[in-house]
Amino acid sequence: MRLVVQRVKKAKVGPSEIGVGLLVLVGVGKEDSEEVVGALADKLSKLRVMADKEDKMNLSVADVGGEILVVSQFTLHADTSGGNRPSFINAALPNTAKEIYDHFVSELKSKGISIKTGTFGNYMQIEAVLDGPVTILYLD
């Protein structure tokens, strides 16, 4: 799985909206499986990228009572090595990707954090006010 994790003051996709927290773009690859999802959700829930009173990245989204907006994005598996048009051959097929994505969202919800999502597989417009900016890439 590939994740782009951005610290936000607020973010919105469709009817789903969060305040302070994390915007997480999720790309499921064809080699991904549900086995890694639990550990990844645990890592994300404990990731200390939120500012403390001294403005240092020392707190997790749970520590600050923040929320997470999770949005599927197969284009994170784009391969641009073979010309000008990206190939998405490394992205998981939609049915498999949805199962893994849904499992990831479920695991995050089990951490007691408010989780909102986009609609899997749909074209979406995302609004976000980035904080920092802080952007963390998790590449498989």
- Residues annotated as catalytic are 75
The β-bridge relationship of strands 57-59 and 16-18 is unpaired
36: helix, strand or coil: helix
The C-alpha atoms of residue 60 and residue 111 are separated, in whole angstroms, by 12
- CB-side neighbour CA atoms (13 Å) of 124: 21
**What does DSSP say about strands 50-51 and 57-59: parallel, antiparallel, or unpaired?**
antiparallel
